[in-house]
Amino acid sequence: QVQLVESGGGVVQPGGSLRLSCAASGFTFSSYGMHWVRQAPGKGLEWVAFIRYDGSNKYYADSVKGRFTISRDNSKNTLYLQMNSLRAEDTAVYYCAKEGEGYNWNPEYVDYWGQGTLVTVSS
Amino acid sequence: DIVMTQTPLSSPVTLGQPASISCRSSQSLVHSDGNTYLSWLQQRPGQPPRLLIYKISNRFSGVPDRFSGSGAGTDFTLKISRVEAEDVGVYYCMQATQLGLTFGGGTKVEIK
């Protein structure tokens, strides 16, 4: 069965950095685009970033562009999110999520989500 | 960005009765490839989101048939034919037609 397990969350000071990881299993990771989506405490869902199945293209929400970098290592079945210049408003649970269809050029729908990892930006 | 607006914000429902959630997009969700990338997600308390419906009306694997989706263009609806206790949670619509996925604000379904 599909499993997505995030790690790397924690408490960080404003201006600091953190790298999240998402270990994938149960499907051919290299065939699917992947997303990071976040949810601030008590709030709704906000898309953060998407990377194509082969890593050839990456897209970001305006709120994180220039500060966050999405990447993947298909040999390790792992997705990453490097977060720099963190702000209080980045505090959220970060989910990695899998695209529903393989070899897509662009997103279509998200079919599986991890349990999430909490990032808290606070002094 | 495409703005997704859900109504109602909250839906108290009697067990066994139907529930309906509406989602409206600020522009048409018909993609240049002819598909409409509108999905519905369920988030139970303390859980990650779970896919229910994709491309307007396709029920995802394992989703009970009491859930159904419909609509076109900018107006979409999720219906639960007979609400069960396990359906309590927040429901989100999501569009992927335009890059930069966007979500509705969520509708909380609770039991009366």
Taking CA atoms, A89 is separated from A15, B1, B94, in Å, by 12, 20, 22
**Tens digits of per-residue pLDDT, B28-44?**
999 999 999 999 999 99
* Cβ–Cβ gap A45/B55 under 8 Å: no
- For residues A107 and A98, give the distance between their C-alpha atoms in angstroms, rounded to a whole number: 10
CB–CB contact A107 B101 (8 Å):
yes
pLDDT of residue A105: 84
Over residues A52-61, mean pLDDT? 95
The helix/strand/coil state of B73 is coil
Name the nearest CA neighbour of A96 among A41, A42, A19, A43.
A19
Q: List B91's β-bridge partners, or say none.
A: B42, B107
State residue A104's pLDDT score: 85
- Residues of chain B in contact with residue A47, where contact means CB-CB under 8 angstroms, are 100-103
Locate the DSSP E strands across A15-91: 18-25, 32-39, 45-51, 58-60, 68-73, 78-83
As a whole number of angstroms, the distance between CA B21 and CA B1 comes to 22
The whole-angstrom separation of Cα B21 and Cα B3 is 16
Give the tens place of pLDDT for each residue, A60-78: 999 999 999 999 999 999 9
